[in-house]
């Protein structure tokens, strides 16, 4: 058992994957000699060499394109997009090629590709370093979207994503990289994308979140228990696509109330999908409106710190939303 930050757990998983499977290689901007801008790949270039830890040119389309080609050739590429904000040039490769290859070839060709993407708001990040992109890609059939919120999950889900024969977008909360710590077992089985995690069991309302917001949700739920006697169930979705619908429906059939928290913009965010699912399949269990707490519909996380705090939901905002819905 070791105490790790989120970024350490990711580095640990990459190291293990490179050591265990000769087909695994990683590529991206500055991931080689520099060890990645967040140090996710630090030391790996020295350990595994330039053929397996491969610096790429500044072309996201190229990084993903190389990954798709290598995956079709039965390698196990792990691509890094330096910031989610830069993923858009690769949109066609991901959406048009990787996600649809299996369908297009009638099951003949698989794309066992992992794309690691640091996402989300971080103070001082501004326009080009703060985007959340899960909803853009969750709309696309054929892609899996994984968003771990604990070091243990980050490590075993990254192994699971590499094992998965489908393209997986592995979203990493960069604000949580060093903020989130946790115990990671010495040995742990890989976790394939899919199941949600009941981070805290409760009966008064269900709180759905992922990534950094799942971490904050647990903090807020503990305070709600301590300060208000409210017993909140926190469901860390971990995988957005395919969504663990059973866990979502089971939780709300127990509590009757649902709150979704995400740092992506509110409109057409993934919270809308959960709200729709609940209204569709758990209508008679609902004892209140399905509420969303999300970043406002503005183009970027503000650079100004005060406005940044207004933009990004935090434990205080989540607690207020819990109290509001519980009182309904």
Positions annotated as catalytic residues are 129
Kindly report the number of other CB atoms within 10 A of residue 319's CB atom.
22
Q: Cα Rg for the chain, rounded, in angstroms?
A: 19
Q: Please, is 277 exposed, middle or buried when counting C-beta atoms within 10 Å of its C-beta (0-12, 13-18, 19+)?
A: middle
Instruction: Supply the minimum distance, in Å, between the C-beta of residue 284 and other proteins.
Output: 4
Site for other proteins contains 225 (CB under 8 A): no
Instruction: Supply the minimum distance, in Å, between the C-beta of residue 269 and other proteins.
Output: 24
Kindly report the number of other CB atoms within 10 A of residue 255's CB atom.
23
Find where tokens 């979502």 sit: 248
Q: Which among 246, 80, 100, 77 has a CA at the least distance from the CA of 162?
A: 77
**Which listed residue (284, 296, 299, 306) binds other proteins by CB under 8 A?**
284
Pick the closer one to other proteins by CB: 114 or 259: 259
Instruction: Supply the minimum distance, in Å, between the C-beta of residue 195 and other proteins.
Output: 26
Q: Which among 209, 267, 212, 213 has a CA at the least distance from the CA of 233?
A: 209
Find where tokens 């395919």 sit: 242
Pick the closer one to other proteins by CB: 3 or 287: 287
**Which listed residue (182, 286, 309, 315) binds other proteins by CB under 8 A?**
286
Phi/psi of residue 172, nearest 5 degrees: -120, 125
Quick check: bond before 215 cis, omega within 30? no
Instruction: Supply the minimum distance, in Å, between the C-beta of residue 322 and other proteins.
Output: 15
Instruction: Supply the minimum distance, in Å, between the C-beta of residue 62 and other proteins.
Output: 51
**Which listed residue (285, 300, 309, 315) binds other proteins by CB under 8 A?**
285
Instruction: Supply the minimum distance, in Å, between the C-beta of residue 225 and other proteins.
Output: 17
Q: Tell me how far CA of residue 211 lies from CA of 52, 62, 137, 175, 304, in angstroms.
A: 28, 27, 16, 10, 23
Give the DSSP letter of residue 146: E
Among positions 240-279, residues that touch other proteins (CB under 8 A) are: 256
Site for other proteins contains 229 (CB under 8 A): no
Q: Tell me how far CA of residue 39 lies from CA of 7, 131, 250, in angstroms.
A: 8, 20, 39
Site for other proteins contains 328 (CB under 8 A): yes
Copy the structure tokens of residue 19: 């050591």
Pick the closer one to other proteins by CB: 312 or 325: 325
**Which listed residue (1, 106, 189, 327) binds other proteins by CB under 8 A?**
327
Site for other proteins contains 283 (CB under 8 A): yes
Give the DSSP letter of residue 41: T
Among positions 53-112, residues that touch other proteins (CB under 8 A) are: none
Find where tokens 């790996």 sit: 44
Region from 77-85, 154-162, 268-276, 286-294 binding other proteins, contact rule CB under 8 A: 286-294
Pick the closer one to other proteins by CB: 110 or 323: 323
Site for other proteins contains 320 (CB under 8 A): no
What is the binding site for other proteins (CB under 8 A)? 256, 283-288, 327-328
């Amino acid at each position: 058992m070791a105490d790790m930050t989120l970024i350490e757990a990711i580095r640990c998983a990459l190291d293990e994957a490179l050591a265990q499977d000769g087909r695994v290689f990683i590529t991206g901007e500055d991931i080689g000699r520099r060890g990645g801008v967040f140090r996710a790949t630090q030391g790996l270039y020295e350990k595994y060499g330039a053929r397996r830890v491969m610096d790429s040119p500044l072309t996201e389309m190229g990084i993903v394109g190389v990954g798709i080609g290598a995956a079709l050739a039965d390698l196990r590429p792990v691509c890094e997009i330096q910031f989610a904000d830069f993923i858009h040039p690769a949109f066609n490769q991901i959406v048009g090629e990787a996600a649809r290859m299996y369908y297009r070839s009638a099951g003949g060709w698989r794309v066992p590709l992992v794309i690691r993407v640091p996402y989300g708001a971080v103070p001082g990040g501004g326009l080009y370093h703060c985007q959340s992109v899960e909803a853009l890609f969750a709309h696309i059939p054929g892609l899996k979207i994984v968003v771990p919120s604990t070091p243990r999950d980050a490590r075993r889900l990254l192994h699971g994503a590499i094992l998965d024969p489908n393209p997986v977008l592995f979203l990493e909360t960069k604000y949580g990289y060093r903020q989130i710590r946790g115990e990671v077992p010495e040995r742990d089985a890989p976790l394939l994308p899919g199941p949600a995690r009941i981070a805290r069991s409760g009966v008064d309302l269900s709180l759905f979140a992922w990534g950094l917001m799942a971490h904050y949700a647990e903090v807020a739920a503990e305070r709600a228990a301590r300060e208000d006697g409210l017993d909140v169930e926190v469901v860390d979705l971990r995988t957005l696509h395919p969504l663990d619908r059973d866990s979502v429906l089971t939780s709300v059939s127990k509590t009757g109330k649902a709150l979704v928290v995400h740092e992506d913009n509110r409109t057409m965010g993934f919270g809308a999908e959960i709200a729709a699912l609940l209204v569709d399949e758990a209508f008679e269990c609902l004892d209140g409106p399905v509420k969303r707490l999300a970043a406002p519909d503005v183009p970027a996380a503000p650079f100004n710190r005060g406005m940044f705090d207004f933009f990004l939901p935090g434990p205080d905002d989540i607690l207020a939303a819990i109290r509001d819905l519980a009182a309904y």
